[in-house]
């Protein structure tokens, strides 16, 4: 049953990716980062080192994807600032894993939460990507 539920969630996420706007995709990726970081923290608290490592690795992959999608020409200073924040987050997560420092995971969660809250606050009429 658990495998079936996992497969269903995977199909549901893949389906959303195929129809999601760029705005919605970023929203989903930011939510994915926060979800994985919360799970990584729990795994660390429970001594599940391998699970924590998997979750941090997948979080870094998402952050790399977000960073790679930035367009400094179109996004200007905001894109540059986000690039720096994503760099910081990746470095912090690597150090959190190496040093088993959950404070660093909390710092990254807080930074990404702020970005997501700002992203979520973008008015609907400004969510479309200019042609």
Map residue 122 onto helix, strand or coil: coil
- In this predicted structure, the answer to whether residue 8 has a pLDDT above a threshold of 50 is no
* Domain residue ranges in the chain: 23-120
Pick from 29, 82, 79, 84: nearest CA to 58: 29
26-36: per-residue pLDDT in tens? 999 999 999 99
Second-level CATH architecture of 23-120: Up-down Bundle (1.20)
Residue-wise pLDDT for 85-130, tens only, equals 999 999 999 999 999 899 999 999 999 999 999 999 988 878 776 5
CB-CB contact of 28 with 120 (8 Å): no
pTM: 0.81
Q: Is the pLDDT of residue 9 over 70?
A: no
In angstroms, the CA 73 to CA 75 distance is 6
């Amino acid at each position: 049953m658990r495998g079936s539920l996992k497969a269903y969630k995977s199909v549901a996420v893949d389906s959303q990716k195929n129809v999601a706007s760029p705005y919605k995709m970023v929203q989903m990726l930011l939510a994915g980062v926060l979800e994985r970081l919360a799970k990584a923290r729990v795994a660390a608290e429970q001594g599940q080192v391998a699970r924590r490592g998997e979750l941090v690795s997948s979080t870094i992959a998402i952050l790399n994807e977000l960073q790679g999608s930035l367009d400094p020409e179109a996004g200007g200073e905001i894109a540059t600032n986000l690039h720096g924040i994503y760099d910081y987050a990746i470095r912090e997560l690597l150090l959190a894993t190496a040093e088993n420092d959950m404070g660093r995971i909390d710092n990254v969660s807080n930074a990404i939460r702020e970005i997501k809250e700002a992203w979520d606050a973008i008015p609907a009429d400004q969510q479309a990507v200019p042609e």
